[in-house]
Chains A and B, each alone.
Chain A
């Protein structure tokens, strides 16, 4: 099978969705600009025109609300935000409107909306251009949150988000864009709410999300040198979470480290650990659960501080070794 980079797979997914379905359209900031969205939107405006590929002014609130309204009126819009940081302005249409509408009006209406939010951090961008706020959105009852990590999944999951009848936050990460992997040419959809085992192992379970999946896989490779076989799970969707997959693995390994690119408190890692904590499996654990996350601090600009702020495979490896009882 041919290999594509993650961003090529994302671009192909967008082309295929716009080609297949007149109800799909793309709207957001910088969708025709190379520096807002990398090369993910290459060729779209030329092929589908500015009515279906709408580059908007910086009006996150109204643009997102308009996408919600268009979804209610029968379209399947993809509304793009070049950084999750900018989406705070769009909280009201997402949290109060999109996420509530189906329930609040007695199931008569639904919002088939994909909110494409991009994490774009590092590079000394500082506190307002670096955030990974996926957990904040996952807290809302009526919103699904998807976090692809590979070229294969970004293509299949974007399609699944667009064809889900509910609002879905599709969290994309610019650090994934150059990763290569096999991607089928055909149009396909990956199921929402289903995680995958990225690497089998028997000693410890590492649940990792989005970019941290790759850090976890690197850590697992390094851990072989320590004689530790780590199992790496990738939930792919953090809401609804594939709890059965995680319980199954932890039942076997009886140890858990969670690696997530968000903040520590009340985050995705906290939720994953809580799912173990409220299950009888917790009684069988050989050591306390551990999370590798961002510290509860805004992102710094200086590269000297970024080194400590963003976590890597080394941090995961160290925590795994501690959990395994190998005091450094």
Chain B
């Protein structure tokens, strides 16, 4: 199974997943030390979703994300230093320090921004798909959101429109069982998500979101279908965030999640699982993986140190916040 995917691709996905995890671990330290002021929502534990989905996408496909967007940004090819400097709210951040952790952007690689309003960017992805369809471009749009978004009204309107107009958009629900502090059972009268998408006329599937190869395989099929005019699809990826809703802690100390639940999901860590199957099928040796992890760690720490050393955003022109509107090109 693992080998049929191809060594190069497996290593590529592994590197990206480890990069995401390492970034989150390094940022967690910085937040704990008080070096970072903006709210930081870490993606640790959900790496297989972002990486499994984005590996099937082209650079000119667009993805939209939420407040928990570091993983999506990196998986789509966003620049590491741009992320670090933005989370530190510095001048050289990818959004010039105006966005912070929740508002990363990398338009050059198909990441036009992330919204910190729950379900806020879902309709934007539908609009991107509408634009691609009107321009007869074979591009697709993807929107990532959590299970919390399933209790917002706009997702149902958005899915209906996407199905009605047969738009090339993929809805990816990262079901991590919690909407901030609230378990899904306290948010949804019916916790079965897939039937809700199907009821809107969108083909929908549930899968193990901690198995990057499964996510990759399913996404590839749905992406090709959407690209060739087959319309939207919905993916529910079952996963778990290791850290708490916001910040470096785990939400165990607050009694928001049971220890047994947490432990059982740690055992299903998507990175450990990928490592295990790569080792079992001799795609890589333990030394190879160790070397990759340490290379990535070094790179991430270097990037973090550079971000810390970067200057703060300067006052806007004449300190009048004059960049609110885009001015005509000269």
Separation of A101 and B107 alpha carbons in the complex (Å) = 12
- Whether the Cβ atoms of B154 and A70 lie closer than 8 Å is no
Q: A123 on the interface (CB 8 Å rule)?
A: no
> How many positions in chain A have a CB within 8 Å of any CB in the partner chain?
43
Does A152 belong to the interface (CB within 8 Å)?
A: no
A105 near B113 with CB under 8 A, answer yes
Chain B residues 75 to 129 lying within 8 A of chain A, measured CB to CB, are: 93-99, 103, 105, 107, 112-113, 115, 117, 120-129
Chain A residues with Cβ below 8 Å from B59 are none
A52 vs B136: C-alpha distance when bound (angstroms): 13
- The residue from A56, A63, A69 contacting B131, defined by CB atoms under 8 A apart: A69
Given contacts A65-B158, A106-B98, are A142 and B123 in contact (CB under 8 A)? no
Are B326 and A110 in contact, CB atoms less than 8 angstroms apart? yes
The listed residue (A96, A110, A165) touching B117 by CB distance below 8 A is: A96
> Is B98 a contact of A69 with CB atoms below 8 Å?
no
8 Å CB contact of A66 from B105, B127, B324, B326: B127
Contact yes or no, B99 A65, CB < 8 A: no
Q: Does B120 contact A92, Cβ atoms closer than 8 Å?
A: yes
Given that A52-B134, A109-B112, A142-B325 are contacting pairs, would A93 and B123 also be in contact in the complex, using a CB cutoff of 8 Å? yes
Inter-chain residue pair count (beta carbon < 8 A): 146
With the chains together, A59 CA to B157 CA distance in Å? 6
Knowing A57-B160, A59-B160 touch, does A92 contact B96 (C-beta < 8 A)? Answer: no
**B323 on interface, CB distance cutoff 8 Å:** yes
On whether A106 and B105 interact (CB within 8 A), knowing A25-B134, A97-B120, the answer reads yes
Please, which residues of chain A bring their CB within 8 A of the CB of B105?
105-106, 108-109
A27 to chain B, nearest CB (A): 8
A74 at the B interface (CB under 8 A): yes
A103 closest partner in B (C-beta): B324
A61 to B161, CA, bound (A): 11
B99 partner residues in chain A, CB cutoff 8 A = 104-106
A3 within 8 A of B: no
Q: Which of A76-119 contact B (CB under 8 A)?
A: 77, 92-93, 96-97, 101-110
Interface pair B164/A104, CB less than 8 Å apart: no
**A65 touching B123, Cβ below 8 Å:** yes
Question: Which A-chain residue is minimally distant from B119 (CB atoms)?
Answer: A92
Is A144 on the interface with B (CB-CB < 8 A)? yes
Q: A66-B123, A107-B326 are in contact. Are A72 and B128 (CB under 8 A)?
A: yes
A32 interface hit (Cβ, 8 Å)? no
Contact in complex: B131, A74 (CB < 8 Å) = yes
Judge whether A102 and B62 touch: CB under 8 Å: no
B40 at the interface (CB under 8 A from A): no
Chain A hits for B128, CB < 8 A: 69-70, 72-73
Which partner residue on chain A sits nearest B316 by CB separation? A103
Assembled-state Cα–Cα distance A56/B120 (Å): 20
Q: A65-B122, A103-B323 are in contact. Are A92 and B117 (CB under 8 A)?
A: yes
Within 8 A of B (CB), among A8-22: 22
Find out whether the CB atom of B62 lies under 8 angstroms from the CB atom of A73.
yes
- In the complex, which residues of chain A have a beta carbon less than 8 angstroms from the beta carbon of B157? 59, 61-63
Residues of B close to A71: CB separation below 8 A:
127
In angstroms, how far is the closest chain A Cβ from the Cβ of B315?
Answer: 14
Asked if B6 CB lies within 8 Å of chain A CBs, one says no
Known: A102-B325, A103-B98, A105-B105. A72 touches B127 (CB 8 A): yes
Cβ-defined contact, B98 with A62, below 8 A: no
A43 beta carbon closer than 8 Å to chain B:
no
Show 7 A/B contacts (Cβ-Cβ < 8 Å), sorted by A. A25-B134, A62-B154, A68-B123, A93-B124, A102-B325, A104-B99, A108-B95
> What residue in chain B is nearest A64 (Cβ atoms)?
B123
Nearest to A74 among chain B residues (CB) is B131
B126 partner, pick from A69, A77, A92, A103, beta carbons under 8 A: A69
In the bound complex, residues from chain B placing their C-beta under 8 Å from that of A144 are: 325
Q: Is B328 an interface residue (CB 8 A)?
A: yes
Query: In angstroms, how far is the closest chain B Cβ from the Cβ of A88?
Result: 13
Apart from A105-B99, A144-B325, what are 7 other A-B pairs with CB-CB below 8 Å?
A62-B161, A66-B124, A67-B127, A70-B131, A71-B127, A102-B325, A105-B105
Verify if B262 is at the interface (C-beta below 8 Å from A): no
A-chain residues with CB within 8 Å of residue B121 when the two chains form the complex: 97
Q: Is B153 an interface residue (CB 8 A)?
A: yes
Per-position binary interface string of chain B over residues 135-172, scored 1 when its CB falls under 8 Å from any chain A CB and 0 otherwise: 10000010000000000011001101100110000000
